[in-house]
Structure 1
Amino acid sequence: MTKESHISFKAGISRRYFLQVTGAGVVTATALGASAFRAQAEPYGKFTWISPRGTLEVLDDYPYWAAKKAGYFGDLDTDMQPGPSDGTATVKFVDVGQADMGFPSPGVFSFAIQNGMKLKSVFHMGARDTFSFAFRKGEGTNDLKTLEGKTILLGSAAWQSITDPLLASQGVDIKKVKYVEAGWPTWGTALAGGQGDAALSWEGLRAEWIAKNLDFEYWLGVQNSKLPANTFVVRSADLDDPDRKAFLEKYLRGWAMGLEFGYQNPRAAVEAVFEQFPTLAKNLGPELGTTSILQQINVFRGDMDKREGWGSHDMASWQGFFDQIHKIGQISSPVKAEDVCTNELIGPANDFDKAKVKADADGAKLSEGFAALDVEKIKAHLFDSAVK
C-alpha cells in the first residue's frame, strides 16, 4: 500500500495534508502551513457539497439531481464538487472551509475525528452497510476469515479505514490481511486481471462494474454487516449558528425529498442523473442504471419503520462502529456516538409534503427505454451476484 500521499487544495488554500497509514492501520495527517478560508456571504453564500470519490458522474447522488430537477431546493444556492480522488479529501475540505458538507464513509469520518477535525454527522445517508468485497467468479466466500493471508485491492490507501473495521467485525485478524492500492478507477479492473484476491466495492458500483464487463461475485455488507455507511458531515460550529442551522435544515429537506422521489419512482430519478451526465447514460443505459439506483435505495432507506425519517442515525450502530475501531486502534480514544452524530436536523429535513412528492414522482414522464423496464423484475434479481 502507498504509505504517503497528498492533495493540493484549490486556489486560496495553502494548507497541505500528508496521509500516513501505519502498520497498525491507523491513519494520521499532518497539516502544514496556514489555512486560508474562503470569504462567504451569510449564512453560506454558495453552499458546496463535496464528493468522496473524485467524480460526480455516478448514480450515488441521485437524490440531489432529482431534487434539483423538481425544484426542491427552492432558491438555495447549491453546488456539487467532485473533489480530488484522495479518499480523505471530503473531510479535509470541509474542515478548512473549502466545502460546506462532505460525504465520508464512517472510516474516513473516523480519520477526521482522530485528527481533531471539528466535524459532525448530520444526515446519515447509508442506513445499511453499502460496502462489499468482490471476488473473481468461483473464488468468492461467505467467510471473510478466509481472507487472512491474502490481498485486498483498494482504489485509495484511505479505504483501509473502511475495510479494517468491516473485516474485524466479521472476526478477521486484520494484521494478516495485505492491502494494495490499485488506483481509482482501476482497482476493479486489476482484480479482473488476476491481481489480488478480492477488492472493496459497494452498492450501486456493482451495476456500474457490470457495464464495464467486470463480472464478479460478492460478499455483501448490506446482507451481512451491522456497521453504518456513508454520511453527511458539516463543521460542528455551523450547528451553533442559527442562520446556518436553518439553511442546513432547508438544504437537507431537499435531499430528503429527492430520496423520497427516488423511492417512489427510481426510473425517473435515474433519468434526472442521466440528463446531467450523458456519458454515464451511454455507458450504463436504463436497465443497469435502474439496477444501480435500486441497490442504493436499499442502503439509503434501510428499515424505515424503525427510523425517524430519511437521514436518521441509528446511534447503536454508530456506537458499535466506534467501539470496533477503538478496539483495533484506528482511533486512539473512545468516541461516544452522540458527541459526533446528531439527529437534530432530521425532523425539519423530513418535514415536507410526502403526498406532493409522490404525485411529482408518479407524474414524471419517462423516456421510452425507461418506461419499458419492469422494476419489480429488476428488484427480484438485485442480489443474484451475491456469493451463494
Structure 2
Amino acid sequence: MKPDMTRLGVNRRYFLQVSAGGLVTATALGASGLLTPARAAVYEKFTWISPRGTLEVLDDYPYWAAKKAGYFGDLATDMQPGPSDGTATVKFVDVGQADMGFPSPGVFSFAIQNGMKLKSVFHMGARDTFSFAFRKGEGTKDLKTLEGKTILLGSAAWQAITDPLLAAQGVDVKKVKYVEAGWPTWGTALAGGQGDAALSWEGLRAEWIAKGLSFDYWLGVQHSKFPANTFVVRSADLEDPDRKAFLEKYLRGWAMGLEFGYQNPRAAVEAVFEQFPTLASNLGPELGTTSILQQINVFRGDMDKRGGWGWHDMASWQAFFDQIHKIGQITAPVKAEDVLTNDLIKPANDFDKAKVKADADGAKLSDGFAKLDVEKIKANLFSGAL
C-alpha cells in the first residue's frame, strides 16, 4: 500500500525562494527539476531548522547552553524556526536552504519515501518522546481502544509519527481518524472537547500545564521501543572532507550543551529563558525545569549502552523502518545503516567532560532557580502517566 503523501503536503517538485523581507516560501517547479543554490566548499553560515515552526521552546536547550558557554567557538551558526508545516525541516535541507534538520523518525521516513538524499548524523532522541494525551479520566493504557476514535494533530504530517507508534501497539491504523487541529492549538482543542486524544511529547507536557491544560498520558518513553527525533544533513555533505570536519565541530558543540544540561538542568533552562523572555514568563523556573528534565530523559537514554551523545541504536531504528514498511508508510524496505551513521559520534563526544561539568557547576543561578528542589521534580516527572 502506498500512502497518500500528497494529502500530507508531500510534493517533491518545489523550490524555496527568499523574499526581500527574508520570508522563505515554497513554489512548484516545472519539469526541469529542483533548483539548488550554489554553495561554498564550507558553510558560510550553518543553518539548523526547527521541525515545529518556532524556536521559543525548551527542546533546543543544548544549543542555547552551548552558545552561551562558547562551545561552538568561531563557527558561524544560525537557528531558524521554519514554517509550521511538519515536513519543512527535511524539505529545506534537501534543497539547500538549511543545512541541518531535526525531523521525527516519521518525517524522516517521508524524506526517504520521496527520494531526498539525507542522512541522520546525530540521534538526539534515544528514547521515544511521543505520547498520547487524553482528557482527565478518559485515558487508556491499551491504545487499541483508539480504534474508531479521533486523534488531534497539530499538522497533518504528524500522521507519519502516530501511525507506526499505534501499529506497534497492535492498533489497526485504518480504523483511526485524524483531525489537523492546527499549531499550536491542537492541545487546547482536546481540552475543549474535540477529538478523543492528541499527540504530545516530552517537554511539551510541562508547557501544556503552564497553559492550564491538564491531561492524562500514555507515554512512549515508557512503552515504546522506537527512536525519536534526529539531526539530518545532505548525504553529499558527508563526502566533502571540509564539511564533514565542520559537522564534527558543530555536533561537538551540541554534545557539550547536552552534557552541560545533564550536569545542571536549571542553568540550561536559564540559557533558553535569556533568549526568549516570553517563554520564561509563561513557564517560570519550576515548569521550565520539569520540561527540560523530561527531555534530558529522552535525549540521554541509557548512556551505558550508547556510544555517546547522538549515538544511533541501529536495532531500534531498524525496528521502526520495518514497521513503517509493513504499514505502507514507505514502499520499499530501508536498511538502517544506509540512512544513519555513527561516524561523527566519536569526534562529537571528544571533549573535556570535566571542564563542562565545572562550567555547569559554576553557573550562577537566579534566585527563582536556585531555590528549586530538582530531586523533587525528578520524583514527579511522570505525573499524569497512565
> TM range, normalised to the smaller chain?
over 0.9
CA offsets per residue over residues 280-330 of structure 1, 9 Å max, x none?
000000000000000000000000000000000000000000000000000
> 1:32 is matched with which residue: 29, 33, 51?
29
Contact 1:24 1:175 in 2 (8 A): no
Give CA-to-partner distance per residue, 1:204-224, whole Å, 9 cap, x none: 000000000000010000000
> Whole-Å Cα distance in 2 between the matches of residues 100 and 21 of structure 1?
16
Deviations 1:186-211 (A, max 9, x none): 00000000000000000000000000
Q: % of aligned pairs identical?
A: 90
Is the CA contact (8 Å cut-off) linking 1:253 and 1:349 kept in structure 2?
A: yes
1:384 positional shift: 1.2
Quick one: distance in 2 between partners of 1:192 and 1:176?
23
CA distance in 1 between counterparts of 2:148 and 2:103 reads 28
Structure 1, unpaired ranges of 5+: 4-11
Contact 2:12 2:114 in 1 (8 A): no
1: CA distance between counterparts of 2:330 and 2:18?
12
Cα deviations by residue, 1:169-201 (Å, 9 ceiling, x for unpaired): 000000000000000000000000000000000
Instruction: Decide whether the 8 Å contact of 2:16 with 2:97 is kept in 1.
Output: no
What SS does structure 2 have at the residue aligned with 1:228? coil
1:27 touches 1:161 (CA, 8 Å); kept in 2? no
Instruction: Give a deviation string over 1:74-98, Cα, whole Å, max 9, x none.
Output: 0000000000000000000000000
- CA deviation after TM superposition for structure 1 residue 33, in Å: 3.5
The answer to which of 177-186 and 23-32 deviates more is 23-32
Matched-pair contact (CA < 8 Å) for 2:16–2:92: no
Q: Which is further off, 122-131 or 41-50?
A: 41-50
How many Å apart are 1:41 and its aligned residue?
A: 3.4
Deviations 1:117-173 (A, max 9, x none): 000000000000000000000001000000000000000000000000000000000
Contact 1:267 1:290 in 2 (8 A): yes
- Give the distance between the partners of 1:341 and 1:31, measured in 2 at CA: 29
Distance, in Å, in 2 between the alignment partners of 1:21 and 1:223 is 42
TM-score under structure 1 normalisation? 0.92
Assess, with a 3 A threshold, how the Cα gap between structure 1 residues 23 and 51 changes in structure 2: closer, same or farther: closer
Q: 1:50 to 1:352 in 2, by over 3 A?
A: same
Cα distance in 2 for residues equivalent to 1:287 and 1:94: 35
* Corresponding residue pairs, total: 376
Please tell me whether residue 20 in structure 1 is matched to residue 17 in structure 2: yes
**Partner Cα distance (1:73, 1:18) in 2:** 30
Aligned counterparts of 1:231 and 1:200: Cα–Cα separation in 2? 18
Alpha carbons 2:15, 2:95 under 8 Å: kept = no
Counterpart CA distance in 2 for 1:179 and 1:41 is 43
Distance 1:262 1:32, change over 3 A: same
What is the CA-CA distance between 1:19 and the residue it aligns to? 15
For 1:277 and 1:123, locate their aligned partners in 2 and report how far apart those are by CA, in whole Å.
Answer: 26
CA distance in 2, matches of 1:188, 1:287: 21
Does the 8 Å contact 2:17/2:25 carry over to 1? yes
Q: Would the alpha carbon gap of residues 111 and 318 (structure 1) be closer, same or farther in structure 2, given more than 3 Å must change?
A: same
Which residue in 1 is equivalent to 2:6? 2
Q: CA deviation at 1:42?
A: 3.1
Question: 1:28 offset after TM fit, Å?
Answer: 19
Shift of 1:383: 0.3
* Secondary structure of the corresponding residue to residue 128 of structure 1: coil
Asked if the contact 1:27–1:330 (Cα under 8 Å) also holds between the matched residues in 2, the reply is no
CA gap 1:378/1:259 in 2 versus in 1, 3 angstroms: same
C-alpha distance in 2 between matches for 1:23 and 1:135: 44
| 1:25–1:275 distance in 2 versus 1, CA, 3 Å | closer
Give SS of 2:332's match: coil
Post-superposition shift, 1:32? 2.7
Separation in 2, partners of 1:294, 1:141: 25
**1:327/1:351 CA distance change after superposition, 3 Å:** same
Q: Distance in 2 between matches of 1:196 and 1:24?
A: 38
Unaligned runs of 5+ in 2: 33-37
1:62 aligns with 2:61: yes
Deviations 1:256-296 (A, max 9, x none): 00000000000000000000000000000000000000000
